[in-house]
Amino acid sequence: MRNRLYCNRSGRGRAIKRALEAVFFSFGFLGACQPAAAGDAPPWMHALVNAQLPQHDEKTDAVLLYSERNIAVESQQKIRISVRQAYKILRPGGRERGYAFVPFSSPSERVTGLRGWSIPAQGKDYEVRDKEAVEVSIPKIEGSELITDEKAKGIRIPAADPGNIVGYEYEIEEQPLVLQDSWFFQDVIPVREAHYSLELPAGWEYKAAYRNHAELKPARNGNRWEWTLSDVAGIRQESEMPPLPGVAGAMIVYLFPPGGPGNKGFTNWQEMGTWYRELTRGRTDASPEINKKAGELTAAALTPVDKMRAIAQFVQHDIRYVAIELGIGNMQPHPAADVFSHRYGDCKDKATLMAALLRAAGIDSYYVVINSERGSVGPDTPAYGSGFNHVILAIQLPGRPSDPSLAATLEDPRLGTLLFFDPTNDVVPFGQIGGYLQENYGLLVAPEGGELVELPRLAARLNKIERSGTLSLDTEGTLTGTITEQRLGDRAWQERMRLLHLTNNADRIKPIEALLAGSLSSFHITRALLVNLQATDQPFGFNYSFEAARYAKNAGGLLLVRPRVLGIEADGILETSEPRRFPIEFDGPAEDTDTFEITLPPGYVVDDLPPPVDADFSFASYHSKTEVKGNVIGYTRRFEIKELSVPVSKADDLKRFYRIIAGDERNTAVLRSTK
C-alpha cells in the first residue's frame, strides 16, 4: 500500500522513477535484438480491440483503455493486490507504455506474478512471461546516498508501436505497514474504463475519501465492493502548474479490522499526528553524548535563539545526508543517539537529532511532515501517508521574535510562536525556509495530535537578486564594464547548491556565462569572482567584468542602446494557443532589482529615451525608469512576485504583465552624434 515518507532532495522521487525507467529501457534495448515470443493475449485484452477510445486530441500519445486494481484483505498481516492495465499507442511518444515496472519493498512485499502482451494491428500477439522479467534494486541517485529495500520488477512488451495495444497484469503479496490504499485513477493520459474493488474479511469495515473528485458510490456483493469510472480526462501538463497529486483525481481507502486499526491506521490529520508521534516515541531521547554536545555547541550562546542557531549549524553541516530506509525505516526515524554517533541520516533523522539537541538545551520542537512539492497536499486533502515525502522541524520560540532574521514563524493558538526550519537543506540560513516550503501545507505533530498547518510566506526582499553595473560605451558600439550581483534566499542557495561541489573555475563561472548569453549576442569575460560561496549566512554574489562588441547598433548615424543590459524577467509560458487549465505556480516570493549606468561615447548625446514602466497587479509588480545625468544613462528597475499562485482567472493579466516586461526589456535609447 506504499505509504512512505521520503526525504525528497532535488526531486528524489522523480529521480528514482527516471533511474528505474533508464534501467528497464537499457534492458529493453538489449532485448530488442531477440525474437519476440508469440502468445495469445488474454480475453480481457482482446475485448478492447474494437473499443471506442476515450475523448482525446491529436497530441495524445496513448490512452488507457482498461485499468483494474483489486484489493483482497486476508488479515492485518496479509493483503493481496492484483492489477491489470491495457493501453492503445497512438503516437511514437506512447511507446514508453511498453515498459512496465512494479516497485516493491522486500521483504514486506513480494511480486508473485508479472506478465505482459501486445496485440498488433496486423499480425500475431506477443507475450512476455514472468520468468522473462528483470528484478533490480534502486540505483544510486545523484545528490544522495541511499540504502533501501525498495526494488522493482520490470518487463519490456514488444511491438509497443502506434496502432497497437499493450497490456500487463501483476500481483503483489503485502504485509502492510499502514492499513490504507490509494487509487490514483487520473493521470496525464485519458482513461476509457477504470475499476477498483475491495474484498474484506468478515467484521472488517472501510472508509473512502476523495481528492479532486466527487464521491463515488460502489456496488456491493457480500464483502466485496466495486467502483467503476469511465471516460476520465487526461491531465495535459502545463508549465509551472501545480504538482500532479494536487490536481489529479484519487480515492483514499482506510481499512478497519474488528477492534480498530490500532497502530496501523488513521483516517484524519489529527489521528495521523498521533500515529506518527507514537511511531517516533523515544527517538528524540538524548544520550549522554548528545547532552554533552549540546552543552559544547551552546556554551557561548547568549540567548535561546543563539542556542538554536548553533545547533542548526551543526546538524546542517556536520551530519551527512545518507538515507537508510529498510522496512518501517521508510517512515520511522532512527534514534537520535544512532544518528549522532554515525554522523549521518536522512531528513527525518536529521530532524530527530536536532530535536534531541534542542531539548537538551531546554528548547521544545515538533516534527512537521510535509511534501517538498508545494500543492501536493492542501486543506481538503484526505489524510494519507504517501502524500508526504519530507520532514522538517517547528521550533518553539520564547515569545514573539524581535530578531528580523527569524522570518519563518507562525503563531499557533496552542503552542505559541513556532519557527520552521529544514535541517536537511544545508544552504538555507537559520530563520528562513525555501520557497518550496512557503505557503505549503504540512502536518504539525503536536502533543495533542496532528494539525495540518500552512507554513508562512516570507517577505519578497528575503529572496532577491540585486544587480548593479558601471559600464561605458565607445563610438564603435562596444560596451565594457563591471557588474556586482548580490543574491539572498532561494536566489542564493540555488546557486550555492550548483557550485559548492565544483572545483574547476571554468565550471564555476558558467552561471555568469549563461546570464550574459541570455542578454548579449557576443561577450568576453575579463574577470569573474564568486562571493561568500561557503558562508551560507551571508549574501552570495558574483562580481565580474566583461566586454561586448557591437552592443550598440548603428542606424543611419544614430546609435541604438538598450538600457536594460542584463537579466530577463519576462516569461513566455502563457504564449500558447491553448487555454490555461491550471494555476501558475511561482517558486516563491521574490524581489529583483537592476541598476545600470552607461557612460556615453565621446561626441554623443541622448536623442530619445524609453518611457518609464509601471505595472502593478495583485500577484506581481514591475517598475522601470531610464534617465540621463550628464553623459550617463541610468536605468533602474524593480520586479516583485507577491503571490505564489496565480489562478486561471488571472492568467490573461499575467500574460499582459509579462508582455509589458518584455517590451521594456527590448526598449532602446537613441544616441545622436554632435559632430
pLDDT of 589-622, one tens digit each? 999 999 999 999 999 999 999 999 999 999 999 9
The model's pLDDT over 542-576, given as tens digits with 9 standing for 90+, comes to 999 999 999 999 988 899 999 999 999 999 999 99
User: Would you say the CATH fold of 461-673 matches that of 12-264?
Assistant: no
First to last CA, the chain: 80
25: pLDDT confidence band, cut at 50, 70 and 90? low
Task: Round the average pLDDT of the chain to a whole number and report it.
Answer: 91
pLDDT classification of 68: cutoffs 50, 70, 90: very high
Q: Decide which of 510 and 23 is more confident.
A: 510
271-458 classified as CATH 3.40.190.170? no
CA angle 328, 330, 336 (to 5 degrees): 85
Say if residue 107 is preceded by a cis peptide, omega within 30 of 0: yes
Cell of 12: 528524489
Q: Per-residue pLDDT for 143 more than 90?
A: no
Report how far residue 267's alpha carbon sits from residue 245's, in angstroms, rounded to the nearest whole number. 19
Query: 3-class SS at 650?
Result: helix
Q: What is the C-alpha separation between 369 and 418, in angstroms, rounded?
A: 15
- Structural fold of domain 461-673: Jelly Rolls (2.60.120)
Do the Cβ atoms of 216 and 186 come closer than 8 Å?
A: no
Please state, in angstroms and rounded to a whole number, the distance separating the CA atoms of residues 431 and 422: 10
pLDDT band for 338, please (50, 70, 90 cuts): very high
Per-residue pLDDT, 322: 86
Domain boundaries defined on the chain: 12-264, 271-458, 461-673
CA 465 to chain centre: 22
Q: What is the DSSP letter of 38?
A: B
Q: Which CATH number fits domain 12-264: 3.60.21.10, 3.90.1150.10, 2.60.40.3140, 3.40.50.300?
A: 2.60.40.3140
pTM of the model: 0.91
Contact call for residues 376 and 284 (beta carbons, < 8 A)? no
Highest mean pLDDT among 146-160, 314-328, 398-412, 468-482: 468-482
- pLDDT (0 to 100) of residue 135: 84
- How many other C-beta atoms can be found within 10 angstroms of the C-beta atom of residue 146? 21
Contact residues for 554 (Cβ-Cβ < 8 A; gap 6+): 477, 560
* Torsion sign, CA atoms 174, 176, 179, 182: negative
Strand 62-75 and strand 191-199: the pairing is: parallel
> Residue range 18-28: average pLDDT?
55
The predicted structure's pLDDT at residue 330: 73
Which helix H or strand E contains 106, and what residues bound it? none
What value does the mean pLDDT take over residues 203-207?
96
pLDDT tens for each residue of 418-469: 999 999 998 899 999 999 999 999 999 999 999 999 999 999 999 999 999 9
**CA 144/CA 137 separation, integer angstroms:** 16
Q: Tell me if 88 sits within 8 A of 63, measured CB to CB.
A: yes
232-251 per-position pLDDT tens digit: 999 999 999 999 999 999 99
Give 12's pLDDT tier (boundaries 50, 70, 90).
very low
- pLDDT above 60 (res 6): no
Contact 493, 432 (CB under 8 A): no
pLDDT at 107: 79
Residue 1: band (very low, low, confident or very high) from pLDDT cuts 50, 70, 90: very low
> What is the pLDDT at residue 139?
57
pLDDT for res 33: 36
Q: How confident is the model at residue 386 (pLDDT cuts 50, 70, 90)?
A: confident
- Average of per-residue pLDDT across 297-313: 96
- In angstroms, the CA 333 to CA 177 distance is 15
Mean per-residue pLDDT, 512-536: 94
At 342, the pLDDT band (50, 70, 90 cuts) reads: very high
Pairing mode, strands 320-321 and 344-345: parallel
Between 1-15, 72-86, 105-119, the lowest mean confidence (pLDDT) is in: 1-15
* Res 4 pLDDT > 80: no
Mean pLDDT value across residues 467-481: 97
The pLDDT assigned to 30 comes to: 42
pLDDT at 108: 84
pLDDT of residue 188: 96
For residues 70 and 81, what is the distance between their CA atoms, to the nearest angstrom? 6
pLDDT category at 15 given cuts 50, 70, 90 is very low
Residue 624 confidence class, pLDDT cut points 50, 70, 90: very high
Q: How many CA atoms lie within 13 A of 71 on its CB side?
A: 25
Q: What pLDDT score does 228 carry?
A: 98
Burial annotation 19-56 (CB, 10 A radius, 16+ → b, else e): bbbebbeebbeebeeeebeeeebbeebeebeeeeebeb
